């Protein structure tokens, strides 16, 4: 396993993958191979906070938001595969997401290539879990990648160059990742990604955005959530945009030419989503070069 550069090592945030991984399993979206003792413990610890969010503060709780963002990205990715013929996917910061093996089970026979990427320790654990469960087949890879590195085999640039056909479009996904980086850091990643994807205009980037919607209940919940997660990952959380307009402007500035914002309310009748308890604040950003 390669050593992490202290300057770019963000492995502290990988611990949240256990909680989200358990959330997918509990809600029937994943395989029991991703149900861990640590994940169950973290989920249980957050249960009182989620109850308060729903019943006392009138806001959408963490579990609902996790399910909404995951299912919305699934729907958008499936659309590109079925309607646009997409054959290549890179999911960065994959953690214990079930998307890779589920999409390969559904579309692998049609030539889909799915590469999951994470920091060394998490990628190694994810690969071992997939292998043990018999879920890692041809065309499905789990590799090391660090979006903060700008050279070397684990860099974004090298990852895409080494693992994907430059003549075909690619979908890049970051789910639950960008909030762990401050604006300058994540904006630099977006600029580098936009530059790489310009090689094929049909490529696409999907990511989530927690909107900063005002309101006393929302503010209290955010303080609780950010505090708990901040303690867990030993760092701050960042909510980058408080409006669709600001999100679009930032992605245009990064070099993306076409930017769409999708909210849970945009999907009625097309995909089942858990209902929000309060104002909509979980969006998916779809950005194309």
pLDDT score, position 272 = 73
pLDDT score, position 49 = 72
Determine which of 44-58, 172-186, 251-265 has the lowest per-residue pLDDT on average.
44-58
Q: How do residues 26-50 score in pLDDT, each as one tens digit?
A: 999 999 999 999 999 988 988 877 7
The confidence band for 8, taking pLDDT boundaries of 50, 70 and 90, is: very low
Report the CATH number at residue 78. 3.40.50.150
pLDDT score, position 217 = 54
Judge whether 197 lies within some domain. Answer: yes
Determine which of 70-79, 177-186, 215-224 has the lowest per-residue pLDDT on average.
215-224
- Residue range 129-136: mean pLDDT, rounded: 98
Average pLDDT, the chain: 86
**SS in 3 state form for the chain?**
CCCCCCCCCCHHHHHHHHHHHHHHHHCCCCCHHHCCHHHHHHHHHHHHHHHHHHHHHCCCCHHHHHHHHHHHHHHHHHHHHHHHCCCEEEEECCCCCCHHHHHHHHHHHHCCEEEEEECHHHHHHHHHHHHHCCCCCCCEEEEECCCCCCCCCCCHHHHHHHHCCCCCCCEEEECCCHHHCCHHHHHHHHHHHHHHHCCCCCCEEEEEEECCCCCHHHHHHHHHHHHHHHHHHCCCCCCCCCCHHHHHHHHHHHCCCEEEEEEHHHCCCCCCCCCCCCCCCEEEEEEEC
pLDDT score, position 10 = 47
The residue ranking higher by pLDDT, 239 or 109, is 109
Provide the domain limits for residue 45: 13-288
Judge whether 227 lies within some domain. Answer: yes
- Residue range 225-246: mean pLDDT, rounded: 67
The confidence band for 212, taking pLDDT boundaries of 50, 70 and 90, is: low
Question: Is the pLDDT score of 9 beyond 50?
Answer: no
The residue ranking higher by pLDDT, 243 or 255, is 255
Judge whether 179 lies within some domain. Answer: yes
CB 117 within 8 A of CB 94: yes
Judge whether 8 lies within some domain. Answer: no
Domains identified in the chain, total number: 1
Judge whether 82 lies within some domain. Answer: yes
The residue ranking higher by pLDDT, 228 or 287, is 287
Judge whether 30 lies within some domain. Answer: yes
pLDDT score, position 172 = 99
Q: Model pTM?
A: 0.88
Judge whether 90 lies within some domain. Answer: yes
Judge whether 3 lies within some domain. Answer: no
Question: Is the pLDDT score of 152 beyond 50?
Answer: yes
């Amino acid at each position: 396993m390669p050593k992490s550069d202290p300057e770019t090592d963000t492995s502290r945030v990988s611990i949240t993958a256990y909680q989200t991984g358990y959330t997918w399993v509990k809600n029937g979206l994943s395989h029991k191979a991703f149900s861990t003792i640590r994940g169950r413990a973290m989920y249980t610890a957050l249960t009182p906070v989620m109850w308060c969010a729903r019943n006392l503060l009138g806001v959408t709780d963490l579990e609902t938001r996790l399910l909404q963002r995951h299912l919305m990205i699934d729907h958008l990715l499936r659309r590109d595969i079925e309607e646009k013929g997409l054959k290549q996917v890179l999911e960065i910061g994959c953690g214990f997401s079930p998307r890779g093996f589920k999409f390969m089970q559904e579309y692998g026979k049609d030539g889909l290539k799915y590469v999951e990427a994470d920091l060394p320790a998490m990628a190694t654990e994810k690969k071992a879990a997939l292998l043990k469960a018999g879920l890692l087949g041809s065309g499905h890879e789990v590799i090391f990648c660090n979006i903060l590195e700008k050279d070397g085999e684990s860099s974004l640039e090298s990852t895409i160059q080494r693992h994907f056909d430059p003549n075909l479009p690619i979908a890049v996904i970051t789910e639950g990742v960008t909030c762990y980086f401050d604006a300058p850091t994540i904006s630099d990643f977006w600029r580098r990604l936009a530059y790489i994807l310009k090689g094929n205009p049909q490529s696409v980037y999907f990511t989530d955005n927690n909107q900063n919607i005002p309101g006393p209940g929302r503010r209290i919940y955010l303080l609780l959530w950010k505090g708990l997660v901040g303690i867990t990952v030993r760092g701050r959380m960042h909510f980058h945009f408080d409006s669709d307009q600001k999100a679009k402007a930032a992605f245009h500035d990064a070099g993306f030419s076409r930017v769409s914002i999708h909210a849970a309310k945009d999907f009625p009748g097309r995909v089942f989503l858990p209902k929000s308890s309060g104002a909509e604040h979980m969006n998916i950003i779809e950005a194309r070069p």
